[in-house]
Structures are given as structure tokens and as C-alpha cells.
């Protein structure tokens, strides 16, 4: 193909300069014509200047750098999309390392199916970190559960998908009332499907996720996932005019037993125990946000005011 479509790769970042460097280095080595893509880095209020990192890559690829006060990754992605020049938008995160063929794989599909959203496979880039491995196992299970039929996928994480810019704005972009890195991708995918638009899983488009987790950040991540889950279900129920509906008990049983299906021995048992821990943290976050919603209703507080006491796990470590 001699006339590949143009892309804007949007990368939100916050206080992770080393990870951002690795991400940009990987993108600069992309097997895609340099004149057919740009990278849009959105600094979501980092404490340090990222200008030196951006300057180091300006001779290697087209790059835009935008700054904003800290508002969370959903708002940062929308900020990047507003200044993007590409026909298509591709999303990844600052702690991700896209493979060289990642963008080409997405482009070849979208050039033939511009009305779809396409998501790739995200793998754990830290196989010796059991906390990072467990978090990735959770995502792997969700992809098996929701994307078993690749042509009728239902969920992509926000660090590895692409779509037409026009359709992105047609559905309204990311919901900025979800300031945590939790639930905003589920809500966007759900809204996309409610607009009658299709999703296709393309496992050949690979990104490695290098999220260094330790006991506290691991717990905090899954606690925030629970908070995001409540907000997602609440937003969805209001949009669909129905009560909040959770997955069946069988879903959670299959989830915590997933390591036993893909692994063996003591390691699989240990990962099963850790996945049970993620669901305990998730439940705690879900209940926290549910009661916080009641407090907001009584005090008539905006949702964002009750997020600030707990850090955004995606943007700190």
C-alpha cells in the first residue's frame, strides 16, 4: 500500500518521564512512513518539565506537545484529540511500548473498515513482577470474556485502540467526569456500541505495558478500578434508563480461576490468590464510590471533588 492513512497517536502522561522516553523511542522506530503519522503528547500537569524529552524526538518524528492542569487521562485524551491532524486516532499510554508493526497493523485494518474501532493485544512487559502480571491476567481474562469473537469485540483498554477521528467526536470522546484511570475505557466502549458502531479485536497489534506495581500501588489500582466500575455502571444505567446491573456470580468465579486455566503448579495458585485480592480491593472501591455518590447527592457536590483525596494510579508510581 503506497497511500497509508494518516494517524495521530495520542499519549497522555503525568510524572513518568522515563516511561515516556521509552514510549516515544518505540514510536520513533515504528514501521510506518514518518510523514503519515504524528505523536501528540499531553502533559496532564506533571511536576517536572517534559520539554527536554520532547525536544529529543522532534528530529525523529512529527510530535506535538500540549500541557494542561491535572484533570486525569480521559480529559488529556480529549485535549490531544482536539489538536490532532490525523484522519485516525490511535491511543496508547506513557508506560507502554508499542511494537514496531503496531501502527501498521491498525492502519491496514482501518483503511478497509474506517467505521470500526480496532483494538490490539496488550501484554505485560514486566513478567518478573507478580503484581504487574496479576493485573495483566485480569485484562487477559476480560479480553477472553468480552472479545472471544474478534469481529464482535466489546471491550478495549485505552492503551491500545484506534478509530476514525470523526467517529471519536461523533460519540463525544471520553467522559471527563471520570478523572481516574478506571472505567473511562469501559464507558467509552459501551457508548460506542450504543451508537451502533462495531469493534474488532486485532491481536497482531501488540503493545507491551510496563506498569511497575508494588503491594500498595497494586491495591490502590484495583481499589480505583472498583470506583470506576461503580461510576461506569451508574452512568450506563442513567443512559439506558435502567437499574445498575453487575455481572453474574459465574463471571467472578471464572475470573479468579483463570490462572488455573492458563498456568499450573504453585505459581497458578499464587496468582489465583492475588486475583482474589484484586476483587476484594475492587469491591471496596465500588462500595466507597457508591457511598460517596450518596454523600454527593446529600451535599450536592460535583463528582470531581470526591476524587482528589486518592491519587490517580495510572499516572503515579
Local mean pLDDT, 10-residue blocks, the chain (317 residues): 87 97 98 97 96 97 97 97 98 98 98 97 95 96 96 97 98 94 96 97 97 96 96 89 82 92 90 96 95 80 44 37
* H/E element, 215: helix 215-240
The C-alpha atoms of residue 59 and residue 29 are separated, in whole angstroms, by 13
Q: What was the pLDDT predicted at 313?
A: 36
Q: What is the dihedral of CA 179, 180, 183, 186, to 10 degrees?
A: 60
The C-alpha atoms of residue 313 and residue 53 are separated, in whole angstroms, by 23
- Regarding pTM above 0.85, the answer is yes
Q: What was the pLDDT predicted at 298?
A: 77
Q: Do the Cβ atoms of 160 and 73 come closer than 8 Å?
A: no
How many CB atoms within 10 Å of residue 208?
19
What does the domain layout of the chain look like in residue ranges? 7-213, 218-310
The C-alpha atoms of residue 313 and residue 179 are separated, in whole angstroms, by 11
Q: Do the Cβ atoms of 11 and 77 come closer than 8 Å?
A: no
Q: What was the pLDDT predicted at 316?
A: 35
Q: Do the Cβ atoms of 235 and 223 come closer than 8 Å?
A: no
Q: Do the Cβ atoms of 135 and 32 come closer than 8 Å?
A: no
Angle between helices 249-256 and 130-146 (to 10 degrees): 140
Q: What was the pLDDT predicted at 18?
A: 96
Q: Do the Cβ atoms of 139 and 262 come closer than 8 Å?
A: no
Q: Could you name the CATH architecture of 7-213?
A: Alpha-Beta Complex (3.90)
Q: Provide the pairing of β-strand 37-43 with 7-13.
A: parallel
In 3D space, the residue among 134, 124, 14, 30 whose CA is nearest the CA of residue 75 turns out to be 14
Amino acid at each position: 500500500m503506497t497511500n497509508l492513512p494518516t494517524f495521530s497517536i495520542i499519549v497522555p502522561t503525568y510524572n513518568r518521564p522515563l516511561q515516556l522516553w521509552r514510549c516515544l523511542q518505540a514510536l520513533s522506530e515504528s514501521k510506518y512512513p514518518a510523514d503519515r503519522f504524528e505523536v501528540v503528547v499531553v502533559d496532564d500537569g506533571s511536576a517536572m518539565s517534559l520539554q527536554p524529552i520532547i525536544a529529543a524526538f522532534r528530529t525523529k518524528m512529527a510530535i506535538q506537545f500540549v500541557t494542561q492542569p491535572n484533570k486525569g487521562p480521559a480529559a488529556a485524551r480529549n485535549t490531544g484529540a482536539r489538536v490532532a491532524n490525523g484522519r485516525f486516532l490511535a491511543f496508547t499510554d506513557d508506560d507502554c511500548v508499542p511494537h514496531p508493526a503496531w501502527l501498521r497493523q491498525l492502519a491496514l485494518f482501518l483503511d478497509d473498515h474506517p467505521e470500526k474501532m480496532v483494538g490490539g493485544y496488550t501484554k505485560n512487559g514486566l513478567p518478573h513482577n507478580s503484581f504487574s502480571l496479576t493485573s495483566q491476567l485480569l485484562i487477559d481474562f476480560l479480553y477472553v470474556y468480552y472479545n472471544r469473537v474478534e469481529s464482535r469485540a466489546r471491550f478495549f483498554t485505552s492503551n491500545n485502540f484506534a478509530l476514525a477521528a470523526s467517529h471519536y467526536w461523533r460519540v463525544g470522546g471520553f467522559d471527563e467526569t471520570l478523572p481516574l484511570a478506571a472505567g473511562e475505557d469501559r464507558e467509552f466502549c459501551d457508548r460506542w456500541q450504543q451508537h451502533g458502531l462495531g469493534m474488532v479485536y486485532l491481536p497482531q497489534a501488540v503493545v507491551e505495558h510496563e506498569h511497575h506495581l508494588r503491594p500498595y500501588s497494586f491495591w490502590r489500582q484495583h481499589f480505583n478500578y472498583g470506583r470506576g466500575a461503580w461510576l461506569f455502571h451508574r452512568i450506563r444505567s442513567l443512559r439506558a434508563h435502567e437499574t445498575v446491573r453487575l455481572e453474574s456470580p459465574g463471571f467472578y468465579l471464572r475470573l479468579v480461576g483463570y490462572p488455573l486455566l492458563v498456568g499450573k503448579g504453585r505459581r497458578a495458585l499464587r496468582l489465583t490468590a492475588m486475583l482474589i485480592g484484586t476483587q476484594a480491593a475492587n469491591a471496596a472501591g465500588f462500595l466507597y464510590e457508591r457511598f460517596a455518590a450518596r454523600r454527593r447527592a446529600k451535599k450536592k457536590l460535583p463528582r470531581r471533588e470526591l476524587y482528589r483525596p486518592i491519587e490517580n494510579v495510572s499516572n503515579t508510581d
